[in-house]
A and B are shown apart, each in its own frame.
Chain A
Amino acid sequence: MERPFAITLEVGSSRHNKTGTWRVERPVYVDRLPPCNDACPAGENIQGWLYHAESGDYESAWRKLMEDNPLPAVMGRVCYHPCQTACNRGKLDEEVGINSVEHFLGDIALDKGWMPETAATDTGRTALIIGAGPSGLSAAYHLRRLGHTVTIYEAGANPGGMMRYGIPKYRLPREVLDAEIRRIEAMGVEIVLNHKVDDLAAVLAEKRFDAVFLAIGAEIGKRAYVPAGESARILDAVSFLHSMEGQAPPLLGRRVAIYGGGNTAMDAARTAKRLGATDAVVVYRRTRDRMPAHDVEVEEAVEEGVEMRWLSTVKHADAGKLLLEKMTLDEKGMPTPTGEFEELEADSLILALGQEVDLELLRNVDGVVATDGVVQVDRNMMTGVPGLFAGGDMVPGERTVTVGVGHGKLAARNIDAWLRGTSFSKGGRPELADFDLLNTWYYSDAPQTVRAKLDVARRRSTFDEVVQGLDESNALFEARRCLSCGNCFECDNCYGVCPDNSVIKLGPGLRYEFDYDYCKGCGICAQECPCGAIKMVPESI
């Protein structure tokens, strides 16, 4: 076809006009830190594994999760999910049910028998881990993944630590726990049971191991002094819950009082209820909003008929009754006695006032510092003794399974570096993906999926699991509620909304590139990016 001069032009010839020179600001793709990841004590890349779950690729999701946490089925049940508290979606409608998706992934992995990857070659290095609780198992798993030979000495008859001896079955069925531990063992981790280490110095002296990770937990129940009559029945919550594992349940009587306001107090109260107590009364010296127990625990306890006695301390215990003193909170929120008293009928009193670390095994080890009853570690989780690391409940920090798992991972990475003669660096912390950076218009309106709960009548009388898992369609739905804060999820918005066709789509999984030859820097892509993964940066002119 002829092209008459000037009035008729060859299509697409404007490519010669490089409009990028107009730009004063340039868009750049960034990966910001999602608040969930930021909040996760185990350092999970939650947004990362939800990304796979969203597409129904649960195995990839699980594998992504397993990079940081070897116990998703456990975690999906017992984690207090600070990720969800931090979740940006909470500001939109309700937070994403991350924990429920993790629960689902954990269960489907057990169901399908998926196995984690291990290093192709063994390093020949050995590590000893003392304590098969969450922290020890986590460290063992990560070290094994890295190719090291791992042995765990566990004092108890079964592995799991507080997961087994502290968390009631109705929250964590033992077959789930056993299955996830078995999977770690199947990777080649050796767990030596009934092997209590009394004298660490002696073990270190044997020099059988290139590194040692200490994770013995805090298993001694604090026994605050409560004046008591001779026939008063007082026991501590740790022992009480421990005794639920295979021993004859203790005789508590019909009316049980639990002293304390933490999660353990709730576990004890709910367990007492299930053992047949007509009355299970939690006595706590402050108010509900100051209670360390998590809301969900308190709610479930109340649903199951546990009573709460706020602003009360136990002044005296006697057979069949307690004398409580009413408290009040001063301006700093500290409970102060009022001098008013009342009686509470109680056949037994369970003390749930916290736990302590048994530091006896460290008595002959020089260089380990313990302050306030816990072992001090540096930011690499190493004690004052080179090659001796510690984590979990025995070091400072919140005492939860998730924190323990996180300690185990961090310790493992540092132990790995130690074994290789290098140092481990977490890398720079990316900018946080704040809610304000999102363009939430684009997200579908979708309320959270609630996991079904066991009928209350059954909860009061059995140890069946209370919180049921999601089925696949629910889990998929829930995963897809993720906003993918700060991380591109290939929604094509930038590619579509650019008036200057200056975004190049690279294809599935490959994301996009800006064509700076033409990008005029209008900033629509950044404004319309749902998840805040584009940043406008001034051009240096």
Chain B
Amino acid sequence: MLEQIEGSQAVARAVRLSRPEVICAYPISPQTHIVEALSVAVKSGALEHCEFVNVESEFAALSVAIGASAAGARSYTATASQGLLYMIEAVYNAAGLGLPIVMTLANRAIGAPINIWNDHSDAMAVRDAGWIQLFAETNQDAADLHIYAFRLAEQLSVPVMVNMDGFILTHATERVDLPTQEQVDAFLPPYAPRTYLDPADPVSIGAMVGPEAFTEVRYLASLRQQEALSAIEQIDEEFSEVFGRRPCGFFSSYRMEDAEIVAVAMGSAVGTLKDAVDDMREQGVRVGALGLRTFRPFPADAIRSALSGSRRVLVFERAHSPGFGGQLSADIAATMRSAEPTVHSVVSGLGGRPVTRLSVASAIQAASKGELGLETFLDLDESLLKHEVTELGTARRSSATGGTLAQIIESSGPQGAR
């Protein structure tokens, strides 16, 4: 049923329809609306057979979910930013234990400086934790992906993190087609845990594993992520059968036919990219867009084949690893394993900075003319930096290399070598 609804409310509804048995959360913007709505659903009785636990920290939130999941309950939590970092030990642990928890990450920058607005720094901080990480492009996506995530997590016994851009999606009201309970029930069977804490069949979960088997444990985790790629393809089929709506697969492709330049992003920016692509196509630039939904496991083969005909790939990434560069562009460059296409990192939308159609188009424009650097901070406000960079430049001058503001911004350190 189509509804005009806030993203958080849509997600809360989708989670509710997924019949979770334990929900726990600690307040952090911009995830709060989701769990507020869920707490009302539980307390009012609208969501039956579910416990809502108001915990004292995110570390406890995910720990409660770990306990609940290990006891065989479908478990859900939501967090963002600092909260994710506060629970990061448990994030790794949940994956290591193979517990199919579903968590919403309302993507938000990480401080300091404290910043409540959107970027993907939080998601990148846990990209190696062993979770499946899915990114929603729209609120329809966000709602669908939660139902999808429970199915995927439980099929594989791997936790799934559904990323949705903080505020941009969570607080945006748009039209969402919310499924019926019957549809969800048809798609998502009751949770049948692989292993759980059962007095009738006791096991010890969470052993200490030394050098003799740790590598093998990690190898199996890697295999499981690979298995997830085929599972995603299979579940996509079933999803479209039940809901009459085909998910985008590993990624969405937009005007990719004959594209020489491909703009890549995850999350809500994908829509902007599509608009910019339309603009540039009108100007005769052969450009397309690729919106990555499945970040972990990384669908390397599919990406390689999608990008293999292009000459330049512009990765609009909302996170940055200081001293290295963008994580997503690095993954894509590593996936391509060849000189073509050239992978450009366009660091954009950090800490809530809007990623505008105009800026995206101008970056595509620069790329089409061969004028785009390997790493660019989109819409960098040099006026703000003048004083600071002068200071930095002074410091640099005293060092061996030195350089001007422009040089620093253009060359951007070690990435220049790529």
A residues with CB within 8 A of B: 1-11
Contacts and interface: CB of A to CB of B under 8 A. Distances in A.
Contact of B196 (A1, A6, A7, A11): A1
B209 interface: yes
B204 A9 contact: yes
A152 B185 CA distance: 101
B203 A5 contact: no
30 contacts: A1-B195, A1-B198, A1-B201, A1-B203, A2-B194, A2-B195, A3-B195, A3-B203, A4-B98, A4-B157, A4-B195, A5-B213, A6-B207, A6-B213, A6-B214, A6-B216, A6-B217, A7-B98, A7-B205, A7-B206, A7-B209, A8-B195, A8-B204, A8-B206, A8-B207, A9-B203, A9-B204, A10-B203, A11-B203, A11-B204
B97 interface: yes
Q: How large is the interface on B (under 10, 10 to 19, 20 to 34, 35 or more residues)?
A: 20 to 34
A6 B209 contact: yes
B373 to A, nearest CB: 45
A7 B209 CA distance: 7
Interface string B222-250: 00000000000000000000000000000
A8 B203 contact: yes
Contacts of A1: 194-196, 198, 201, 203
Given A1-B203, A7-B217, A8-B205, 7 more contacts: A5-B213, A5-B216, A6-B207, A7-B207, A9-B203, A11-B202, A11-B203
B192 to A, nearest CB: 11
Contacts of B220: 5
A355 to B, nearest CB: 77
Contacts of A10: 203-204
> 9 tightest A-B contacts by CB?
A9-B204, A2-B194, A6-B209, A6-B213, A11-B202, A6-B217, A9-B207, A8-B205, A1-B201
B96 interface: yes
A1 B216 CA distance: 21
Contacts of B98: 4, 7
A9 B206 CA distance: 8
Interface of B: 96-98, 157, 194-196, 198, 201-207, 209, 213-214, 216-217, 220
A13 to B, nearest CB: 8
Contacts of B207: 6-9
Nearest to B214: A6
A4 to B, nearest CB: 5
B96 to A, nearest CB: 7
B-side binding surface: helix, strand, loop or mixed? loop
Contacts of A7: 96-98, 205-207, 209, 217
A-side binding surface: helix, strand, loop or mixed? loop
A4 B214 CA distance: 13
B259 to A, nearest CB: 43
Nearest to B204: A9
* Most chain A CB inside 10 Å of its own CB: which residue of B97, B195, B201, B214: B195
* Most chain B CB inside 10 Å of its own CB: which residue of A5, A6, A7: A7
A6 B196 CA distance: 15
Contacts of B157: 4
Contacts of A8: 195, 203-207
Contacts of B214: 6
Nearest to A11: B202
Contacts of B198: 1
Contacts of B202: 11
Contacts of B96: 7
B159 to A, nearest CB: 14
A390 B310 CA distance: 122
B196 to A, nearest CB: 7
Contacts of A3: 195, 203
A6 B98 CA distance: 12
Contacts of B213: 5-6
Contacts of A6: 207, 209, 213-214, 216-217
B201 to A, nearest CB: 5
Contacts of A2: 194-195
Contacts of B209: 6-7
A4 B216 contact: no
Contacts of B216: 5-6
B9 to A, nearest CB: 36
A1 B214 CA distance: 22
B206 to A, nearest CB: 6
Nearest to B219: A5
A1 B202 CA distance: 9
A5 B198 CA distance: 18
A10 B201 CA distance: 10
Contacts of B206: 7-8
B194 A4 contact: yes
Contacts of B217: 5-7
A473 to B, nearest CB: 45
B215 to A, nearest CB: 10
B223 to A, nearest CB: 11
Contacts of A11: 202-204
A100 B311 CA distance: 109
B212 to A, nearest CB: 9
Contacts of A5: 213, 216-217, 220
A2 B213 CA distance: 18
A6 B214 CA distance: 8
Nearest to A14: B204
A34 to B, nearest CB: 45
A5 B218 CA distance: 11
B130 to A, nearest CB: 12
Nearest to B201: A1
A8 B317 CA distance: 38
A16 to B, nearest CB: 14
Contacts of B203: 1, 3, 8-11
B390 to A, nearest CB: 54
Nearest to A2: B194
A6 B194 CA distance: 14
Contacts of A9: 203-204, 207
Nearest to B98: A4
A6 B218 CA distance: 11
Nearest to B194: A2
Contacts of B195: 1-4, 8
Contacts of B196: 1
B345 to A, nearest CB: 37
A5 B216 CA distance: 9
A3 to B, nearest CB: 7
A10 B207 CA distance: 11
B205 to A, nearest CB: 5
A67 to B, nearest CB: 51
B210 to A, nearest CB: 10
A11 B202 CA distance: 7
A8 B197 CA distance: 11
A9 B214 CA distance: 15
